[in-house]
A and B are shown apart, each in its own frame.
Chain A
Amino acid sequence: GAVVSQHPSWVICKSGTSVKIECRSLDFQATTMFWYRQFPKQSLMLMATSNEGSKATYEQGVEKDKFLINHASLTLSTLTVTSAHPEDSSFYICSAFRTANQPQHFGDGTRLSIL
């Protein structure tokens, strides 16, 4: 079946560092990928929709300059948390689907801890 790979699974870094998270669709081409943030014991909060070859669409309240998204190919989207601070610590999850209104397939998430 479809598989979405996310890397790294866990990152710890100092405040002020920029961190890049990769999301790959392994056996299908994904024109659209999604980036979510999840706080402990809470649901998934959609941050942005990543579209191949065009600018990402950010949800209200998400800083586009803080969370840079690049979807340069049909199998790869990246999320860069720029100048990360402790409040950016969270679980970030990406997802992808082949076409609209089909199941989303999720990566295993990235645990980001900013010291």
Chain B
Amino acid sequence: GENVEQHPSTLSVQEGDSAVIKCTYSDSASNYFPWYKQELGKGPQLIIDIRSNVGEKKDQRIAVTLNKTAKHFSLHITETQPEDSAVYFCAASTLYKVIFGPGTSLSVIP
């Protein structure tokens, strides 16, 4: 069936460095790709999303890239801060179905 792979599962970076999380998806019908940040004990919060007709999107320190041919998409966080520490989930979505990746636990070391 459809699935979303996400790497790495854990990531530690020094404050100020960049962090990159990569995802691949299997369902070629997927056309919407949101990224969520989940802090401990809370629900996931949407941080950025991209649609299949766009190759890149940026919002301040966060950017997402999409390679629809290769079925790859990535999250880039620049100038990381301790408050960026959380679990990040990528997702691939068709009209009504959303498949989440397994998550990446990001730790930003002060």
Whether A43 contacts B41 by the Cβ 8 Å rule is: no
Q: Which of B43, B46, B89, B101 contacts A103, CB < 8 Å?
A: B46
* Count, chain A residues at interface, CB 8 A: 22
Count of inter-chain pairs, beta carbons less than 8 A: 47
A106 neighbours in B (Cβ, 8 Å): 36, 43-45
Give B residues with C-beta under 8 Å from A.
Answer: 31-32, 34, 36, 41-46, 49, 89, 93-96, 98, 100-103, 105
Complex A-B: 22 CB contacts under 8 Å: A4-B43, A32-B96, A41-B103, A41-B105, A42-B103, A43-B100, A43-B103, A44-B44, A93-B44, A95-B43, A101-B32, A103-B46, A103-B49, A104-B46, A104-B98, A105-B46, A106-B36, A106-B43, A106-B44, A106-B45, A108-B43, A109-B42
Give A residues with C-beta under 8 Å from B.
Answer: 4, 6, 32, 34, 41-44, 46, 49, 93, 95, 100-101, 103-109, 111
The secondary-structure label for the interface of chain A is strand
B89 neighbours in A (Cβ, 8 Å): 43-44
A4 neighbours in B (Cβ, 8 Å): 43
A103 neighbours in B (Cβ, 8 Å): 34, 46, 49
